[in-house]
Amino acid sequence: MCREANPCSGRRLSLSLRTEEAYVGWVRRFIRAHDRRHPRTLGARVVEAFLTLLATRDRVSASTQNQALSALLFLYREVLAVDLPWLDNVVRAKRPQRLPTVLSQDEARRLLAAMDGRSWLIASLLLRYRHAPDGRGQRAYAMR
């Protein structure tokens, strides 16, 4: 992307060395994906298509897709001085669904009631009884 002597260097713009290296990697991947054409000749639709392919074909995580997006925005805005319109048509990678780690007593009872055999035994051993730290005597089960 930029050499240290170049005023557009990422570190001169307060990017860490690791961030700059990651951005260079994404820019190289982007250029290679488009037959080594100069990014100035490629527009927002090509950037959108590249980011969408990352999510759909390559199945990258949401954070990886966001890093690629940041790298390409940095390239266009800071290095090439080209302002891309906001990329609304990008298919975003799905963020993993976060499951709660603390269950109420009722939730724990219902969960265990739906199980039997070995799965019930394992779940009942993993669940442990715990009082709430505020001292109000509320009870919850937490996964270890």
Tens-digit pLDDT string for the chain (144 aa) = 454 444 455 556 678 899 999 999 999 999 999 889 999 888 888 888 898 889 888 888 888 988 998 899 888 888 888 877 766 667 777 777 776 667 777 888 888 899 999 988 888 887 765 444 544 444 555 554
Q: Residue 100: its pLDDT value, please? A: 62
Amino acid identity of residue 119, one-letter, is S
The domain spans of the chain are 11-79, 102-143
Q: Residue 3: its pLDDT value, please? A: 45
Q: Residue 144: its pLDDT value, please? A: 47
Collapsing DSSP to helix, strand or coil, 103 comes out as strand
Rounded alpha-carbon distances, angstroms, from residue 1 to 42, 62, 63: 16, 24, 22
Query: Helices 44-56 and 17-33 sit at what angle, rounded to 10 degrees?
Result: 100
Beta bridge partners of 14: none
Q: Residue 106: its pLDDT value, please? A: 84
Pairing mode, strands 102-104 and 127-131: unpaired
Q: How many helices (H) and strands (E) does the chain have?
A: 5, 3
Amino acid identity of residue 47, one-letter, is V
- Residue keyed to tokens 């290095």: 79
CATH class entry, domain 11-79 = mainly alpha
